[in-house]
Amino acid sequence: MARILFIVSRFPHPPFRGDIVRTLQQIRQLGTRFDITLVAPAPPKGISLSDTAIDGQCEFIPVQLAGWHRLLNVRGLFAERLPLQTAAFYSTAYAKVAAHAVKQRSFDLAHVQMVRIGPVVDKLEGFPIVLDMIDTASLNMERRAGREPPLVRWIVEWEARRLKAYERDLMSRCARIVVSSPADLRALDSPAHGRVVPFGLDLARLTFTEADREEKEIVFTGRMGYFPNADAAAYFAEEIFPLVRQSVAEARFSIVGIDPPSRVSALSRLPGVRVIPDSNLRKYLDRAAVAVAPLRSGTGLQLKVLEAMAKGAPVVATPMVAPAIAADDGEHWFLAESPADFAAKVILLLRNKETARRMARSARRFVEAKFAQDVVVGQMGAIWEEVIVAGRPKPSQESI
C-alpha cells in the first residue's frame, strides 16, 4: 500500500470550509487504498480526530502552532517575496513536523493542500509532490481588487502579483498541480502537469426535497466572512432584491452563514432581508423557493451552488460561476448578468412552480452524474497512483 504524507493548513473540523470538506472526503475514501499520514494543526480544545469521522483511516501528526512562529515569516515576506497570506499563515512548525515525519518513515508521495503552506515544499525531498491549490489564489485576488476602495485595491493588486509569481514557482517544483475548476487551470496557463478535480457531493446526506418549500423565500448561503460571499450578499440585497420586490412584494431574502461582517449584518435593515449567522446551511436550502449565487469575485468551484442543486432549490447565478460547474443555462439553472436580468429570472421561478420543479429535478440528475463524491474523489486517487508509478524506476532488461 502506497504511503502518502498529507499536509493541510487547517484541522479538518468543523466542516464549514471547502478545503476542510475536501480533506475529509479524500481521507475517508482514499484511506482504504493508501496509507495516509495526516499533518495538520492541532485541534481546538475539546476536539479530537474522532470528531472528524476519519479516525482509523489515517495516522495523525499534529502541528503545534504558536503566534511567534509566524513572526519568523516577516523575513519571508520581504527577503523571499512570499505572498502576504503565505507569510501570515505559514508556520515553521509545519516544516519541522514534516521533516521529522520523513525521517521516521518512507513516503511514496506528499500531498500539500493550498499555496498558503507552500514553503513546506522546500522540506520534502526524495519523493514527488502533488500540490492541491483548490483554486488559483492570484485570480481570486485579481477579481477582488475591482470590488475594493482605492487604498485596499492597491494592496490586493500587490498581493495578486506576489501570489502569481509564487504559484508559478511552486508549480515548477511539483509533479502535479490540482485545482477545482477549468477556469483556475486556465489562469495558471494550463500547465501540462495540471489537473482539475472538482469538489464531490455526499449525495446520501443531501436529500432532494420538493415538499414544504416556502413559496417566496430566496436564500444565499456560505461563510459570510469570505469577501466574495459578503460582496455577493450585498449586491443581491441592494441592487437585485428591490427589483424582485417590485413584482413579488412578499418575497423574502435570507443571507445564511457564519462570520457575517458588519457590512452584511447591516443588510438586515433592508425590507424583507434577514441575516442568519447559522452554520447549518442545508436546512435553509430545504425550504427555499430559489437559491441565488450572485458572485462577482472569487474562484474555484462553488460548493454552495452544487448543494442547492442537490437539495432541490432551483438556482440563479452570475456567469462567473458557470465555467466550474458547466451546467446548461435554462435547464439545470438560470444564469444572469445584470441586476434586471437576475431579478427577472428569480421572479420567474417564484411565480412558476412547474418551471422551478422541473429545473430542480434536472439539476439533481446533473450533480448525480458529474459531482458524486465517489466519482470525484477517485480522480485524486488516480492522480496519486499516476505520479507514484511514474516515479518508480523502470525494470532493467536483465530483470525482464
Domain extent listing, the chain: 3-200+374-399, 203-371
- What is the pTM assigned to this prediction? 0.86
**Which of 22-27's residues contact partners 24+ apart within 8 Å by CB, and which partners?**
22/113, 22/132, 22/134, 22/199, 23/113, 24/52, 24/53, 24/54, 25/199, 25/200, 25/202, 25/373, 25/376, 25/377, 26/377, 26/380, 27/54, 27/57, 27/58
203-371 shares the fold of 3-200+374-399: yes
Topology adopted by domain 3-200+374-399: Rossmann fold (3.40.50)
Give the confidence band of 76 by pLDDT, cuts at 50, 70, 90: low
What is the structure's pLDDT at 91? 83
pLDDT in tens, 107-133: 999 999 999 999 999 889 889 999 999
Q: What pLDDT digit, counting tens, does each position of 78-91 carry?
A: 556 788 888 878 88
CATH code linked to domain 203-371: 3.40.50.2000
Percent of the chain at pLDDT above 70?
A: 94
pLDDT at 268: 96
Phi, psi of 149 (to 5 degrees): -65, 160
